[in-house]
């Protein structure tokens, strides 16, 4: 027996056990042994493929929302951290748009939870269609979504996306043959290049969203803590460009 076979023989494998001894009985027995080994090998390949598929599904469920397929808050935080590091290197900002659907409870109460789920899926699809390829659209929970804008140059860029999102959600949704109208309240927050406080960015966007909801449904408000690198400093009161409120 060759040195290679002796090494293989030490491995605790059913295949190795099958080749540990030369088959008795001549060519017919050898062919039978080869067929058996091929069968074992095919079974192992199927098992490996199944396990790899299960791992892929598990990873996706860990980082994506089961209803909409969007990134969940765990994946968003990872991308926020990456985006903050890149923004710091390039002297730019990242921005968050925290969206809360208006009148979503009415849809749930009048049309049922399945209709509410369909509406959430439609909202997710629209948000992906009206944002940029580099942006991350995340389902934050319930009827709340977050859009992360990486590598932002100025406030005006963020406002354009916010207004586009508002218009996108304002159009009626076809839910079970009924035209359903919902609005969205949007809170906007920007992270300055020198500020790596991700949690504070999320809190700022949340506070701005509630201020927008109190002011008027289907509106957005911006909360800016520092001057943006290319859009000019905010006013002393923190008012954002274009008449959008800020604090």
- Decide: 173 and 127 in contact? Cβ < 8 Å: no
Phi-psi region of 102 (alpha: psi -120 to 50; beta: other; left: phi over 0): beta
Q: Which of 100, 102, 135, 143 is catalytic?
A: 143
Alpha-carbon dihedral sign for residues 190, 195, 198, 201: negative
Residue owning tokens 């996108």: 168
- Decide: 182 and 107 in contact? Cβ < 8 Å: yes
Residue 143 appears among annotated catalytic residues: yes
Length of the chain: 247
- Decide: 146 and 97 in contact? Cβ < 8 Å: yes
Burial 58-93 (b: 16+ CB within 10 A, else e): eeeeeebbeebebbbbebbeebbeebbeebbeeebb
Q: Which helix (H) or strand (E) holds 25?
A: none
- Residues marked active site are found at 143
């Amino acid at each position: 027996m060759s040195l290679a076979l002796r090494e293989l023989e030490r491995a605790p494998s059913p295949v190795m056990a099958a080749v540990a001894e030369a088959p008795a009985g001549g060519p017919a027995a050898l062919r039978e042994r080869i067929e058996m080994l091929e069968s074992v090998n095919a079974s192992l390949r199927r098992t490996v493929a199944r396990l790899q598929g299960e791992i892929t599904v598990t990873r996706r469920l860990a980082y994506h929302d089961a209803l909409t397929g969007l990134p969940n808050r765990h994946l968003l935080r990872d991308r926020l951290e990456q985006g903050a590091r890149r923004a710091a290197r390039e002297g730019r900002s990242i921005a968050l748009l925290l969206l809360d659907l208006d009148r979503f409870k009415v849809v749930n109460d009048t049309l049922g939870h399945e209709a509410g789920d369909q509406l959430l899926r439609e909202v997710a699809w629209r948000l992906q269609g009206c944002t940029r390829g580099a942006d991350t659209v995340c389902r934050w929970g319930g009827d709340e979504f977050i859009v992360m804008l990486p590598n932002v140059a100025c406030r005006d860029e963020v406002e354009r996306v916010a207004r586009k999102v508002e218009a996108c959600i304002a159009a009626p949704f076809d839910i079970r043959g009924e035209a359903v109208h919902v609005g969205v309240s949007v809170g906007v927050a920007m992270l300055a290049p020198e500020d790596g406080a991700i949690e504070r960015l999320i809190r700022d966007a949340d506070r701005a969203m509630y201020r927008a909801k109190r002011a008027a449904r289907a509106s957005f408000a911006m909360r800016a803590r520092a001057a943006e690198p290319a859009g000019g400093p905010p006013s002393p009161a923190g008012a954002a460009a274009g008449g959008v409120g800020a604090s």
